[in-house]
Structure formats: structure tokens, C-alpha cells
Structure 1
Amino acid sequence: MAPSSPAQRPLSWTVVGSGAIGSLAACRLKQAGYAVSLHLKQPRSHTIDFAGSQLHFPAATPPFTAVLIPVKSYAVIDAVQSLLPHLTSNAQLVLSHNGMGTLEHILPLLAPSQGLWFLTTTHGALKQQHSLLHTGQGQSVLSALNVAAKAYTPAVLPAMETALGPVTLVDDITPFLWQKLAINAAINPLTAIYNCRNGALLQAQFEPLLTAAITEVQQVAAACGVVMDDSLQQKVLQVIAATAENFSSMQQDIANKRRTEIEAINGYVVQQAARFGIAVPHNNNMLAQVLRLSSACS
């Protein structure tokens, strides 16, 4: 009998960090019977109370074959570089974070036989000490970013379907990243600046601010070759309504005196706008305001 292809074997997953979305993915994988470990800054085992169960996760030990990296955008490169010496030759890495601008830096770090993926998700989760709540049922979009990743689709796709499904597999993640960027660029900074839940943005006073942010992102995306349809504003309002009781990650970062992802969200819009000579005053203003709030918190 011919040996099974490596792409057909169940992968043992390592989840980097202890953030809410990563913890949600780890818990759902664990409940489905996957072998899951956590890669934390201080190596240790970890227990999470989730959906009425206490789930125990061992500290991750190399070598690593399948790694989910759901860390903040500004921490992605450091996280991958720390993992590189411990990856197998055919390791599969799945990135998942808000904002844009990291992929072009990560791909050159990997060997040709190592796969890179990106997963963008609308799931919501809230972590409080050792307890985890799944606060928003969402969906995810997954894409293989190189040839080495595509070969492992039969192993990676079902795992991500379990972790953060339902999952749509696409050939080109770029339009989906721009859509997620537009949603985050409109919602996250406003909730941070006004210190409010997402649902507060449905008030009439925020309509022109949301419209301005979305319109600017559409203009910059078009210059970058991605045309976003006119339903984008409605999609943003739908996300606000669906997550009305949630606090955005950026609001939580400011409230807890943590660094935000503003540079990879509105900052990325501003950076790309400068390339094409496009004025984006609203995104510039929100970027400046959130950076001031972050500076005040530090």
C-alpha cells in the first residue's frame, strides 16, 4: 500500500499567543479532537473555560508543522521570525490579523517548501482571564499564498473550517482584505475615539464620519487595483448592527493601555493614498487621534 500523502494526514496545530480569536480557534480545534498546543511568550500549559468545559493546552514544543498566528499586525513579523528555526521543512503557517501590509514581508522569510496562508474572519470572542466567550458567530475567508500552501489544502482547509468556520476558500485574498480593512477603518477608530460599543455608531451623528472613511478607502483601493462595490457602506452598517454589543479590539486596546493596530488599518490607507497623491483627510485625522490616545495611555 502506498504511504499517505503528508497533505492528507491530520496536522497537529500550534496556536501563537493567547488572544481571543486564537483562543477561540484553539478551543474549537481541541473540542473536535485535534492535537493543539499554545505558543506563548512564557512557555507554559494553559487552561481555558469555554462552552461549559475546561480545556487544557500544553506548551508548544518544536518542531512545528502547522501554526496559526492570530496576533496583532505589528507583532506578526517578530512572531514568524521567532518560529523560523523551529519549523519543519513543509510547515504550514496561517496568518490572521486586522489591517494590511505584512504579507510582502513574510513570504520571503519562508523556504519554498513552507506554506503561507491568510485567514480573515468576522468571528467575535471575548477573553476574560481564563474564560472565553464566543460573542459573535461569524465566517472566514481563507487563501493559500504560495504553491507550498496549495498542496496542503486537504489538511489546512478542514482544520480552519473547524476552528473558525464556515470558511470560503478563495484564490485571491486581496479584495477580501480590502473589504475587511474598510470595515475596520470605519468602525475601530471611532469606537476608540468615542469610547463606545460598536452599536453606538448607528446614531445619526456618526453617519457622515463612517461615509467619509469608507469613501476614502474605496478611492485608495481603486488606485491599488481593487474596485469595491457600492454595497460597502451597507456591509459596514450590517457589521455594526451584528456586533452592536461588542467593543472593538481597538477600543479595548486603548481602554487597557495596549498598542493598537491603527498603523496597519487607517495608517495603511494613509500610506497607500500618499503613493497615488490621494487626499484622505478623514483617515489621517482618525490615525492622528488614535495615536494621541495611545500616547496618552503609555
Structure 2
Amino acid sequence: MNNTPWLVIGAGAIGLFWACKLQTLGHSVHLVYRSESPGKKITLDSLIDENGQQQSTSTKHKVKSFMASELTEQYDKVLLCTKSFDLKDAFLQVSEHVTDDATIACLCNGVGAQEELQSVLLDTQALWAAITSEGVLKIDKNHIKHTGLGDTYFGRWLQTDSNREFPIDHLTVTNIHQRVIEKLAVNAVINPITAIFNIHNGDILDENFKPLIEATLAELESVFTHPKFSYIEQSKHLTRANLKNRVNTIAQLTRLNRSSMYEDIKLQRQTENEFISGFLLKNSPIELPIQRLLYEGVAFSDQREETKKKLLSIT
């Protein structure tokens, strides 16, 4: 399996970054793009080295890229780096080129898309979900910038008796559901607020946003610690203090970055709103008025200015 190429699906910032990363780790990579070919070479600019030190470098990575309709090989390792709403359909477009015993991994925001993908896999195919805190910005169709050093973790989505190991060493965890929920919690604060107010991640720590952040954290605590929340075993530790520490840390570490939801709204693209605030609204056993406002502020551009006023009036 280690000698066969990875099939990386998605030529956004994260897909291009992982195509380069896998190649650096010694793996062969085939990249699937949907609308715009990245060409044969990807440029990766990095502002930091592997130890987190400031060091500007630029590397070129020669990667074979295809549209899904151009694939001819069979792949036993697949990494999906698409938006949550595209995850299942992106896999179905390449599924005839995926072996029956393939390792399939997905890197996407929110919760819900993983279950949708699992529903179309064979019992013999193993799904690994992943989260990442790497900061990556897409400059051009074949040019990305690594703006923040982070961690990536993969874990089996379904707990089975299989002893199959993940094809990349030192990146696996046993509690991936907990980590997915923890990232959802941070995304449910940073993503919609930065997108609605058109601000960088670090700006949410400004004094004028303090009442909104505090109220949002209190509301999230009420759902994540509620005994009837469907993920309570993975989320019960997410108290307001825990959540505040996580949000503040990520906002500080990525203070100059723009969230993916901010970028999507700026470029008039579909957001992952349904898998972040939308997931919470659908699955919460209690009412979540602030998440409702955040959801609507992202979903309805014509209501955004009014939603801003309502959010800033929260005390």
C-alpha cells in the first residue's frame, strides 16, 4: 500500500497543501481538481519552519493532476480535502477508481458530512476523519502560502475490530469524534463572527466583541454539557472556561488569518454554515438564539447589517 499513490481530491488551499505535504513525506500523489487545473507544479510558500520559527521559504512540487473523468488507475489511499457540502459527491465521482479495501480519509469542517460519506462506503473500506489547525492561504490556482503551523489528526470514524493502520505515521488518535466536536465548538464562534463582520480571526478578541463572545460561549456550554446532546460523551468537558481558552488560543495563533467562512462570503461561494451552526441548531436539545443569529447572518446577505446590530446589542 505504501508504494501506491495517494489520490487527493480537492485543489483548494488544504488539498494543495496536503498534496505537497504527502510528497515531502515520500508518498506519490495524484490530485483531482474540479474546475481549474493547478498544472504540473505547485508553489508552496512558507513563513515558518517545522519548529514554528519565522523562516520564509518557497518550494516547488511536481504533482500529477486530473479531472475525475480522466482517472484510469485504482487507488487504495484517498484523501478528500473538499468543503463539507461537497464531500459525498466528490467521493462518488471517483468511487469506481477506489479499491474495495481502500483507506479513505476526509479533512473538512463541521459535523455531519462524515456520516454522509460513511453511508456510501463499502463495509470493507475504512473511513478516517481528520481535523487540522494548519493555516494555509491559496494565492493562485497552483500557489499556496503556509501562514500558520498547526496539528493534523486522523482517527477511525467507526470503531471496529479492524487493526488496519493508517498509511501515515504519528498522526492518528483514538478520540477523533471528541476532537471533531472541539473544532466544531471553535468554528462555531470564530467562523460566523469573522464572516459576518468581515474581520480577521484575532479581531474577535477586541473589546467591542467581548459581550458577544462571552454570550456565545455561555450558549455553547449549555448545549455541549446538556445530557440530551447526541455527542455528550465527547463534549461534556466543554465548559465555558474550556471553550474560552480554546477560542482565545486559536484566535491569537491565527490572528492575522481570515477564516474559511470569511473567504467564502468574500468570494460569494457556498459556505459550510449548514455543518457548523446548522448542525448545532438541528441537533441541540435546547434553543440556541445566538447560533440562530449567526447562522442567519451567514446565510442571508440581505439581512446581514440588521443581524450585526442584533449581535452587537447582546449583553
* TM-score category, normalised to shorter length: 0.7 to 0.9
Q: What 5-or-longer segments of structure 2 have no aligned partner?
A: 46-57, 305-315
Q: Are the counterparts in 2 of residues 16 and 69 from structure 1 also a CA contact under 8 Å?
A: yes
Q: CA offsets, 1:90-145, max 9 Å, x none?
A: 11110111111122222231112111000101111011112211111001222112
Aligned counterparts of 2:299 and 2:36: Cα–Cα separation in 1: 32
Listed as ranges, the matches of 1:1-298 within 5 Å are: 6=1, 9-41=2-34, 45-51=39-45, 52-60=58-66, 61=71, 62-129=73-140, 130-146=142-158, 150-153=162-165, 155-158=166-169, 167=171, 169-222=172-225, 223-224=229-230, 225=232, 226-227=235-236, 228-229=238-239, 230-273=241-284, 276=285, 278-293=286-301
Scaled by the length of structure 2, the TM-score of the pair is 0.82
Q: CA deviation at 1:237?
A: 0.4
Deviates more, 1:236-245 or 1:135-144: 135-144
Alpha-carbon contact 1:144-1:150 (below 8 Å) kept: no
Deviation at 1:295, TM superposition (A): 9.2
Distance 1:265 1:294 in 2: 21
Identical-residue share of aligned pairs (%):
29
Kindly provide the CA deviation profile for residues 16-55 of structure 1, in whole angstroms up to 9, marking residues without a partner as x: 1111112111111112321011011259544211142221
Runs of 4+ in 1 over 6 A off after TM superposition: none
Whole-angstrom CA distance in 2 between matches of 1:98 and 1:43? 22
Task: Please report how far the alpha carbon of residue 148 of structure 1 lies from its aligned counterpart in structure 2 after TM superposition.
Answer: 7.5
* Structure 2 residue identity aligned to 1:283: Q
Partner SS for 1:231: helix
Is residue 72–residue 261 contact of structure 1 (8 Å, CA) maintained in 2? yes
**1 CA distance for matches of 2:161 and 2:262?**
34
Q: Which amino acid aligns with 2:60?
A: Q
Distance 1:149 1:94 in 2: 18
Once residues 32 and 110 of structure 1 are traced to their aligned partners in structure 2, the CA distance between those partners, rounded to angstroms, is 27
Q: Kindly indicate whether the alpha-carbon contact (under 8 Å) linking 1:220 and 1:272 is maintained by their aligned counterparts in 2.
A: no
Which has more helix, going by share of residues?
1
Residue 88 of structure 1, CA deviation: 0.6
Does structure 1 retain, via aligned residues, the 8 Å contact 2:76–2:103? Answer: yes
Give 1:59 deviation, angstroms.
Answer: 2.5
SS at match of 1:112: coil
SS at match of 2:221: helix
What CA deviation, in whole Å up to 9, does each residue of 1:169-212 have, x standing for no partner? 32232221111011001001111111111111110111222222
Give the gaps of 5 or more residues in structure 1.
1-5, 162-166
Equivalent position amino acid for 1:112 in 2: D
Look up the SS of the partner of 1:59 in the other structure: strand
